[in-house]
Amino acid sequence: MPDFVIPVTLKIFATKKEITDYFNRKPVKVIGFVPTMGALHKGHLGLIELAKQQSTQVVCSIFVNPTQFNDPKDLEKYPRPIADDIRRLEEINCDILFNPQVTEMYDDNEKWHFDMGDLENLLEGKFRPGHYQGVTQVVYKLFNIVKPDVAFFGQKDYQQVLVISKMIEKLHLPVKLVMCPIEREPDGLAMSSRNIHLTPDDRKNSLVLSKTLNWVKENFEPTKIAELQQHAIQTISATPGVELEYFEIADGKTLHPATELSESVVALVAARVGKTRLIDNVLL
């Protein structure tokens, strides 16, 4: 008989009570969780596919979290194509979508502070003050609601993975964290929900980020870190329409500048291309 896949009906929950009641009625051996802010692309879908391989049921959350935006305009223009997102989740047989409103996730005047040490003020933390407080706040809430056994995050937000890993460790959360490789367009651009804002010229100019990261990877030697970083900064800064925020060759565990003694090394970049802020990285 031919192999076939029985389609899964996507269950959609909008409240904490609905999803809690569902799992209380139907206990699941391994809950896999993919938290997103929607505008799903192949990167997100790759996380869900990996989660399906390692879990009994997969929950994807879509929630544009206001506390991690330090620019109100950025929050306002963040894409929210929910009907298209639901269709994509149905096509890949995701089990559950958790899609709450802001009022479901936050009470008035909530207070939150998580001590993540230096990670809060380096790289993304420096350019987006308060961002990781918002990230840890919402992820902690989502973990408490979904109660996942395994959570899947993309490598593109490398610093975010380190921050959430630290939160899991410090708060003794019973969640295994899995970092999944970056999904790229055929020309190398890292997939991002923000890419839809790029004009044709921006799109062409944005390729300098992935090309420079690849060049650093191909030429990487621990003794050449300063030289490689300087070349990368000059290359990106010379590209029209691209405003570099940082290019750092960092220790993969601390994100402090890498040295010859660093066991793992990652090159990370952030830049504004036109009006759109992009990040990318490569493991060295």
pLDDT score at 77: 87
Model confidence at 3, pLDDT cuts 50, 70, 90, reads: low
CB 104 within 8 A of CB 14: yes
Q: Is 118 annotated as a binding residue?
A: no
Q: Which residues contact 194 (CB under 8 A, 6 or more apart)?
A: 276, 277, 278
Q: Is 125 annotated as a binding residue?
A: no
Residue 3, domain member (yes or no):
no
Strand 96-98, strand 242-251: pairing: unpaired
By the 10 Å C-beta count (0-12 exposed, 13-18 middle, 19+ buried), 166 is classed as middle
pLDDT score at 169: 97
Tokens of 238: 């010379």
* Tens digits of residue pLDDT in 143-153: 999 999 999 99
Taking the C-alpha atoms of residue 12 and residue 8, their distance in angstroms, rounded to an integer, is: 12
- The count of structural domains within the chain is 2
The radius of gyration computed from the CA coordinates of the chain, to the nearest angstrom, equals 20
* Tens digits of residue pLDDT in 14-65: 999 999 999 999 888 999 999 999 999 999 999 999 999 999 999 999 999 9
Q: Which residues are catalytic?
A: 44
Q: Are residues 273 and 152 in the same domain?
A: no
The residue segments making up the domain with residue 214 are 193-283
pTM for the structure as a whole: 0.93
Which position has the higher pLDDT, 211 or 9? Answer: 211
Q: Are residues 111 and 202 in the same domain?
A: no
Residue 75 has pLDDT above 60, yes or no: yes
pLDDT score at 146: 97
Taking the C-alpha atoms of residue 28 and residue 106, their distance in angstroms, rounded to an integer, is: 27
Span 106-123, average pLDDT: 93
Q: Is 38 annotated as a binding residue?
A: yes
Q: State the DSSP string of 104-136.
A: HH--TT-------GGGGTSTHHHHSTTHHHHHH
Residue 6, domain member (yes or no):
no
Residue 169, domain member (yes or no):
yes
Q: Is 250 annotated as a binding residue?
A: no
Model confidence at 205, pLDDT cuts 50, 70, 90, reads: very high
Q: Is 105 annotated as a binding residue?
A: no
Model confidence at 132, pLDDT cuts 50, 70, 90, reads: very high
Residue 1 has pLDDT above 50, yes or no: no
Q: Are residues 153 and 27 in the same domain?
A: yes
Which of 155, 180, 205 represents a domain boundary (last residue)? 180
Q: Is 253 annotated as a binding residue?
A: no
